[in-house]
Amino acid sequence: MPTTVPDRVRSPRQHLRLVRSCEACSLSACRTAPVVGDGPAPADLLVLAPAPGRHEDLVGKALAGSARNVLDAALLDARIDPESVRVTTLVRCRAEDGAPPTMAQIRACTAHLDAEFAMVQPSVVLALGALPTSVLLGHPVPFDKVRGYRLDVRGGITLVPTHQPHDAVRGDHTVAEAIRRDVSVAAAVLAGRMKSGADARDELRARLG
Ligand code: SF4
């Protein structure tokens, strides 16, 4: 059953209380520490990971350990202060076996995501992997064709899909390099040096054929 979250969550602290008490889906039974976004709200850039991993579940942080280091290195490379970025997850609780969230669990958690978008009011979202990308778009997409590109979601927010930093941690150096390039695209949109997702719609159509 979808969770109930007030129309307007006024602060990250209030959101933290709501997430910690949430039992709207089966994941509440196996979590250690539910994840709430970390970083400032509002923030120009929101990073959206799919779900907490083992490490994140222990510390209640959206992206922790080596994976966070990969993201932070890419942000610094693009001259973005990691402290200025909000990082969060599509669902807040980890499955016991680490399985990706089901669509029912994602739907149940949508109210928390909506509350976070309302608090953060990002102009650019960096989605880590195919799942948050397709959820934000509302339909599946060929991830390889849209990765690193600019898409228009939620009425004017630019979505830039990239890989999950966990894949770079597993030793694939090409992934870390691709994340760097994609973060530089997000930085260029933020700085007004590149078209937004809305303005790049025709380019995207041509690219997808
Ligand atoms: S995943 Fe989301 S909806 Fe499910 S229990 Fe956790 S906070 Fe609630």
The residues with which 195 forms a beta bridge, in sequence order, are none
Nearest CA to ligand 1 atom 4: 25
From the CA of 158, how far away is ligand 1's center (Å)?
Answer: 26
Give residue 170's pLDDT.
78
According to CATH, the topology of domain 12-208 is Uracil-DNA Glycosylase, subunit E (3.40.470)
Would you say residue 2 has pLDDT above 60?
no
Beta strands (DSSP E) in 9-94 are 45-49, 86-89
Which residues, 6 or more positions from 114, have their beta carbon under 8 angstroms from its beta carbon?
5
From the CA of 118, how far away is ligand 1's center (Å)?
Answer: 18
Q: What is the per-residue pLDDT across 5-57, written as a single tens digit (0 to 9) for each?
A: 666 777 888 888 999 999 999 999 999 999 989 999 999 999 999 999 999 99
Q: What is the mean pLDDT of residues 155-178?
A: 90
pTM, 2 dp: 0.94
Nearest CA to ligand 1 atom 2: 109
pLDDT exceeding 70 applies to what percent of the chain?
96
156: which 2 tokens?
Answer: 């004017």
Give residue 169's pLDDT.
79
Would you say residue 1 has pLDDT above 70?
no
pLDDT band (50, 70, 90) for residue 146 = very high
pLDDT band (50, 70, 90) for residue 187 = very high
Give residue 4's pLDDT.
65
Indicate which atom in ligand 1 lies nearest the CA of residue 111: 3
Query: Which residues, judged by CB distance below 6 Å to any ligand atom, belong to the binding site of ligand 1?
Result: 3, 19, 22-25, 27-28, 34, 91-93, 105, 108-109, 112
From the CA of 115, how far away is ligand 1's center (Å)?
Answer: 13
From the CA of 24, how far away is ligand 1's center (Å)?
Answer: 6
Give residue 6's pLDDT.
66
Nearest CA to ligand 1 atom 3: 109
139: which 2 tokens?
Answer: 């339909």
Give residue 166's pLDDT.
86
Query: CA angle at residue 165 from 76 to 36, to 5 degrees?
Result: 85
Distance of CA 101 to the CA centre of its chain: 14
Would you say residue 203 has pLDDT above 90?
no
DSSP letter, residue 27: G
Indicate which atom in ligand 1 lies nearest the CA of residue 25: 4
Identify the three-state secondary structure at position 86: strand
Which residues, 6 or more positions from 178, have their beta carbon under 8 angstroms from its beta carbon?
147, 148, 162, 163
Residue-range domain boundaries for the chain: 12-208
Q: What is the per-residue pLDDT across 82-108, written as a single tens digit (0 to 9) for each?
A: 999 999 999 999 998 989 999 999 999
Name the strand (E) or helix (H) holding 158.
strand 157-162
Give residue 197's pLDDT.
95
